[in-house]
Copies of this chain bind each other. A is one copy, B any other.
Amino acid sequence: MRQLHHFWLSPFSRKVRLVLAEKKLEFELKAEPVWERRDAFLSLNPAGEVPVLEEEDGTVLCDSTVICEYLDEVYTDTPLLGADAKERAEIRRLVAWFDGKFNREVTDHLLGEKLLKRFFSTGTPDTKILRAGRTNAAYHLDYIGWLFERRNWLAGEHLTMADIAAAAQISVIDYMGDINWSKHPRAKDWYMRIKSRPAMRDILADRQASFPPSPHYADLDFE
């Protein structure tokens, strides 16, 4: 069985889980405590980061973008990266936006302060950093809304890797309750649409007793 080494609240792990689910590829999740820097894991990925995918033929793939590009090349039934070079460039631009800019400006701030500080007992969340993360989130949600007003999905007519990269990030910060959806009705419409896909079910069922999700996290209609 294909194995995905992951961390449940890592947006990059979630991106790969969504791609595997959209492509109806079976896989087993293996939680990896990356902070332990286990030798067995470092020999799979010297960068020491999740996600890592082990294919059944023994191929080991590291880095979410590398994994997603590979899966889209090898399993072509549900293409998620577009039909030609220009479409792919727009889809990949948005993937880079969410993986890079959104993650750096929003998710890193909120996840770092809320989850990691609690988990590693390194202090209480810094309200200035939390505020910065939430302010940046509002700007990104406006961009999602702006795109969704003009397109059927974020990169065009069809659901693509761009929607998946965005949903992976958004689902993490929505788990923590950091989105005021009433202020972003267009982005909410987009998120409701992607939340209702079967591929999102496992992600929406994720929860840890010691760090429970926001009340509306798994709701398909929400405020």
Residues of A within 8 A of B (CB): 46-47, 59, 61-63, 65-67, 69-70, 73-74, 85-86, 88-89, 92-93, 96-97, 100-101, 143
Contact = CB atoms under 8 A, between A and B. Distances in A.
B101 A89 contact: no
Contacts of A101: 47
B63 A86 contact: no
Q: How many copies does the complex hold?
A: 2
A88 B65 contact: no
Determine the main DSSP class of A at the interface with B: helix
Contact of A63 (B67, B73, B92): B92
A88 B63 contact: no
21 contacts: A47-B97, A59-B86, A59-B89, A61-B93, A62-B93, A63-B92, A63-B93, A63-B96, A63-B100, A65-B65, A65-B92, A65-B96, A66-B92, A66-B96, A69-B88, A69-B89, A69-B92, A70-B86, A70-B88, A70-B89, A73-B85
Given A59-B86, A69-B92, A70-B88, 15 more contacts: A46-B143, A47-B97, A47-B101, A59-B89, A63-B100, A65-B65, A65-B92, A66-B89, A66-B93, A66-B96, A67-B89, A69-B88, A69-B89, A70-B85, A73-B85
Contacts of A73: 85, 88
Contacts of A67: 89
A92 B62 CA distance: 9
A86 to B, nearest CB: 6
A93 to B, nearest CB: 5
A201 B92 CA distance: 30
5 shortest A-B CB distances, which residue pairs?
A: A63-B96, A66-B92, A73-B85, A70-B89, A66-B93
